[in-house]
Amino acid sequence: MIIMIRTRFAPSPTGYLHIGGLRTALYNFIFAKKNNGQFILRIEDTDQKRLVRGAAEKIIKSLNSFDINFDEGPNLNEKYGPYYQSKRLYIYHKYCCKLIENKSAYLCYVDDNQNLKPENNIDKSLSIINQQDTKSRFIVKFKVPSIKNFNTFDDLRGKVVFDLSLIDDFIIIKSDGFPTYHFANVVDDHLMKISHVIRGEEWLSSLPKHMLLYNSLEFNLPHFIHLPLLLNPDHSKLSKRQGDVDVDKFIEKGYLKSAVLNFIALLGWHPDNDREIFNILDLIENFSIPRIQKSGSVFDIKKLNWMNSEYIKSMDLDTLFEVSQEFFKKEIDIKNTTKLGKAINFFKQRSSTLLELNDSILPFYSEPNNLKEEVLTYVNEKKSQDILKFYLKSLSIIECFDIELSDRLIKDIAEKFNVKGKEIFFPLRGVLYGSLNGPDLFTIIDILGLDESKRRIEQYIK
């Protein structure tokens, strides 16, 4: 029987969308699209104490900005909605009653000291849950059977065996009336007809609980795929608590969304060749579950920088100009497209991020009024002053500056003052570009123009 492929991303709105969540969403999205299926977004907001105001909206906005668009979800095609779990309490209570009726779960009263007292009367339990008795404070627990070897199945790992004697009876309805993650997750995945549960490896240990719930509720099991952990370079787990994993922060630092998606797609999945650059359509075409690795994948920022630089290099000038504008400081004159175009064309081959591109271009628009001490050290030396004067005089008698003339001037300086290398370039680059390091002199003057170049040199001649 052919089944409709339906995947889901189900974040908790306790903060921003982190890089691991984006990878999970991406894998679910491209797997569904590859198989002409549907991708669902569900907001798992059952942990009311940890909710962050506006977090759900921010997560949705982040997903949309990366063009990971859901087919069903909050305020969109709510066929199996609501898609906020906090609005589905009546559904969870219904299935909780079913578990109590078939003796797979039991109600416990909770006193002021948090002590638990089981209720053995099924009818009484159902009455309490159905709010006919509202005075009682209670939780509901799932009864874990004593099975030594309980077989589960993961599409990546195959059979995974758990010892249920090590798992205590677990809560499915909390004292605030909300379901736990495990219970709501299973009920919703079934009712929303999720065919493939693609999630992080950290949930593998929860698989026996989920399968017990599926079996007791007489639900058909979906396919389970647990993605490898994302690791730091020291192989510790990449965590939200470490800060720099907010996907929006990467965009603010000048990483292209297409490059970020490409990068995280390769954190755990690899094609059947050495290819590394994939746009979203390429990912949809090439992605497959069997090529997901089981071992953890290291988040290497150097690899992301390289990949982002490759995307920047491949962009045409107009597109790069458009995506870079939000990073341009106010000093940059975007109306002078000739000057800015020259600067972008030069630095696009040398920049890892759009922020780095902006920082490299900015000296062409900012007056080098306050040179760093290391630059002034070279500029103020007598030999450097002689070089600056000679260079300024040479520029003043020419009308057209080209690469051949630039090379000849450097050669003339070397011969006249018996200098070479940094003795020539450091003072000249320092007053023209504001730094000892940067573009070659011809490029600097070609971008600045002769008049601006002469003015900058003259400013530092004593």
Beta strand 158-162 pairing with 116-119: unpaired
* Residue 213: half-sphere exposure toward Cβ, Cα within 13 Å: 27
Please report, in angstroms and rounded to a whole number, the separation of the first and last CA atoms in the chain: 86
- What's the longest Cα–Cα distance across the chain? 104
Structure tokens at 151: 């077989």
To the query of whether residue 240 is one of the catalytic residues in this protein, the response is: yes
Dig out the tokens for 188 from the structure. 């919703």
Where do we find the tokens 């219970």?
Answer: 183
* The two structure tokens encoding residue 41: 């977004």
Catalytic residue (choose from 58, 174, 240, 253): 240
Q: Which residues carry out catalysis?
A: 240
